[in-house]
Amino acid sequence: MSTSLKRMATMQRMQVTGLELFYTKGYYNTSVDDILKELSLSKGAFYYHFESKEDFFIQIIEGLLVRKAYGMLIEPIESHDNPLEKITNCFDNALETAVHNETDFGFAISNFMSEFNGRNPKIMKHLQDIMKIWEVNLVTALQKGKFNGYIDRHTDCEAVAVYLMSSYIGIRTLMAESTPSARKYRFMSQLKQYFRSIEQKQVNA
């Protein structure tokens, strides 16, 4: 394995482990010594890669959280097909990961935003940027749906996007408590019913 590939693999391992640690304990309850212990690293090795704990966390955001959000919530709905079907399938697949993976609980970006709000504007901006990209992506997909005749022309796409983001974050949080599969089923059933209320009704000739 080349040096660059080994470095990429090392960084990936460090970021994945670091994200799990920060998410479980919280950023402010996690010390550099905790990170070193979890990663089996010396202090010198850690500071060779990162300037500080904050720098380590920002690299986790840019390296993991952005990629995960894009792969699960943004890229799947980027098309000219029916956005209501695309969003339904996107949410269904994204929520399924929480059903089968105990460590994939809640919605990490939202949880971290709650922790950093009013405490670290620099990190908050990185997190808010991800949310803004997701929101713009949803609005764009819904507007295309209106233009292409899939969604009722009176639909407020900005309002629908905010509703979808809020409900998705909420169900991810509830699924962490208990019966994730049943909660997912009920959520998806109501989402489909809501989408039927805003879809363009076919007029019979």
pLDDT cut 90: percent of the chain above it? 74
Q: Across residues 164-192, what is the average pLDDT?
A: 93
What confidence score (pLDDT) does residue 101 get? 66
Q: Is 178 left (phi over 0), alpha (psi -120 to 50) or beta?
A: beta
What confidence score (pLDDT) does residue 201 get? 85
**How distant, in Å, are the alpha carbons of 2, 149, 162, 200 from that of 203?**
62, 12, 29, 9
Q: Which domains are assigned to the chain? A: 57-198 (1.10.357.10)
Tens-digit pLDDT profile for residues 107-154: 889 999 999 999 999 999 999 999 999 999 999 999 999 999 999 999
Is the model's pLDDT at 205 over the cut of 90? Answer: no
Range with the lowest mean pLDDT among 2-6, 17-21, 69-73? 2-6
SS3 content of the chain, % helix, strand, coil (to 5): 75, 0, 25
**Predicted model pTM:** 0.90
d(CA 21, CA 161): 31
What confidence score (pLDDT) does residue 103 get? 53
Task: Identify which has the larger pLDDT, 11 or 142.
Answer: 142
What confidence score (pLDDT) does residue 4 get? 76
Q: How confident is the model at residue 100 (pLDDT cuts 50, 70, 90)?
A: confident
The mean pLDDT of the chain is 91
Q: Across residues 50-73, what is the average pLDDT?
A: 94
